[in-house]
Amino acid sequence: MSTHFFGLTDRTFEYSHSVGRNEFAGTGFRNPVDFALDSDGVAYVLNRSYENRPDGVRITVCTLDEEYVTEFGTYGEEDGNFIWPSGIALDREERLYVTDEWLNRVSIFTRDGEFLGKWGVGGSGDGELDRPAGIAISADQTVYITDSRNGRVQQFTLDGQYLGQFGRPGQGNGEFDLPWGIALGQDGLVYVADWRNDRVQVFTADGQWQASFGRSGSGVGEFNRPNGVAVDADGDICVTDWLNNRVQILAPDGRFLTQLVGDHVMSQWGKDKLVSNPDMIRQRALAYANNPGYERNFAHPCAVKIDSQGRICVLDHTRGRIQVYNKVKEPALV
Partner 1 sequence: MADQDVALMAHLLRRAAFGASRDEIEAKVAQGYDNVVEELLTPQERPGIEDDLLMRYQPAYHEAAAIETNIQAWVYRMINNPRQLQEKMALFWHMIFCAGHSKIDSGQEMGRMIQMFRDHGMGNFRDLLYRLSTSPAMVYYLDNNESHKEALNENYGRELLELFSLGVGKDEEFNYSEDDVKACARAFTGWNIAPPYPPFPYGRSPWDFRFDPADHDDSEKTFLGETGNLNGDDVLDIIARQPATARFLARHLYNYFVADDVQIPAWRLTPPADMAAIDALEQAYFDSGYEISAMLRVLFNSDFFKAEGVRYAKVKNPAEMVVSTLRMVGEHREIQPGLFELSQEPKYMGMDLMNPPTVEGWHTGREWIDSGTLVERINFASDLLGNTELPGVQSLVDRLMARGDTLTPDQFVEGCLDLTGPLTVTDDTLTELRSHALKGGDLSHGSPAERADFARRTGEMFQMIAATAEFQFE
Partner 2 sequence: MVSTQKDPVLAVLSLSGGNDGLNTVIPYANPLYRDYRPKLGIAEGQVIPLNDELGFHPTMGPLKKFWDEGKLAIFLGVGYNNPSYSHFRSMDIWHTCEPDKIGTEGWLGRALKEIDPNAENVLTGVNFGRGLPRALVMDGVPVASVGNLETYGLLTGIEGENQRDQALDVFGRMYSPAVGRSAVLDYIHSTGTNALKGADILATAPDKYTSNVEYSSTVVGQYMKNIAQTHLAEFGSRVLYTTSPYNGFDTHANQAVLHSGLWSDVSNNVETFMADLKDHDASDNVVLLMFTEFGRRIGDNGSGTDHGAGGVAFAVGDHVKGGIYGEYPSLEPSQQEEGGNLRFNTDFRSIYTTIIEDWFRMDAQPIVGGSYEKVKFL
Which residues make up the interface to partner 2 (CB under 8 A)?
23-28, 68, 71, 269, 272-273, 275-280
Give the span between the Cα atoms of 95 and 50, in whole angstroms: 27
Shortest distance (Å) from residue 217 CB to partner 1: 14
Question: Residue 195's binding partner, choosing from partner 1, partner 2, none, with beta-carbon cut-off 5 to 8 A by kind?
Answer: partner 1
Shortest distance (Å) from residue 271 CB to partner 2: 9
Q: Which is nearer to partner 2, 54 or 169 (CB)?
A: 54
Shortest distance (Å) from residue 68 CB to partner 2: 7
Q: From residue 224, how far is each of 102, 192, 215, 247, 260 by CA, in Å?
A: 24, 15, 8, 11, 15
Question: Residue 49's binding partner, choosing from partner 2, partner 1, none, with beta-carbon cut-off 5 to 8 A by kind?
Answer: partner 1
Q: What are the residues binding partner 1 (CB under 8 A)?
A: 21-23, 28, 31, 33, 48-53, 83-84, 101-102, 178, 180, 195-196, 225, 227, 243, 266-267, 269-270, 273-274, 277, 279-280, 283-284, 286-291, 294-295, 299-300, 317-321
Q: Which of 205, 299, 191 is CA-nearest to residue 252?
A: 191
Q: Which of 206, 211, 217, 296 is CA-nearest to residue 260?
A: 296
Question: Residue 142's binding partner, choosing from partner 2, partner 1, none, with beta-carbon cut-off 5 to 8 A by kind?
Answer: none
Q: Which is nearer to partner 1, 31 or 60 (CB)?
A: 31
Q: Which is nearer to partner 2, 1 or 275 (CB)?
A: 275
Question: Residue 162's binding partner, choosing from partner 1, partner 2, none, with beta-carbon cut-off 5 to 8 A by kind?
Answer: none
Q: Which of 41, 80, 78 is CA-nearest to residue 58?
A: 80
Q: Which is nearer to partner 1, 15 or 84 (CB)?
A: 84
Give the span between the Cα atoms of 291 and 288, in whole angstroms: 5
Q: Which is nearer to partner 2, 139 or 280 (CB)?
A: 280
Shortest distance (Å) from residue 25 CB to partner 2: 4
Q: For residues 82 and 91, is the Cβ–Cβ distance under 8 A?
A: no
Shortest distance (Å) from residue 267 CB to partner 1: 8
Shortest distance (Å) from residue 47 CB to partner 2: 12
Write the DSSP symbol of residue 129.
B
Question: Residue 83's binding partner, choosing from partner 2, partner 1, none, with beta-carbon cut-off 5 to 8 A by kind?
Answer: partner 1
Q: For residues 71 and 58, is the Cβ–Cβ distance under 8 A?
A: yes
Q: Which is nearer to partner 2, 66 or 198 (CB)?
A: 66
Give the span between the Cα atoms of 12 and 312, in whole angstroms: 12
Question: Residue 68's binding partner, choosing from partner 1, partner 2, none, with beta-carbon cut-off 5 to 8 A by kind?
Answer: partner 2
Q: Which of 284, 274, 320 is CA-nearest to residue 300?
A: 320
Shortest distance (Å) from residue 39 CB to partner 1: 29
Q: Which residues contact 59 (CB under 8 A, 6 or more apart)?
A: 44, 45, 46, 47, 71, 72, 73, 85, 88, 96, 98, 109, 113
Q: Which of 233, 235, 256, 234 is CA-nearest to residue 246?
A: 256
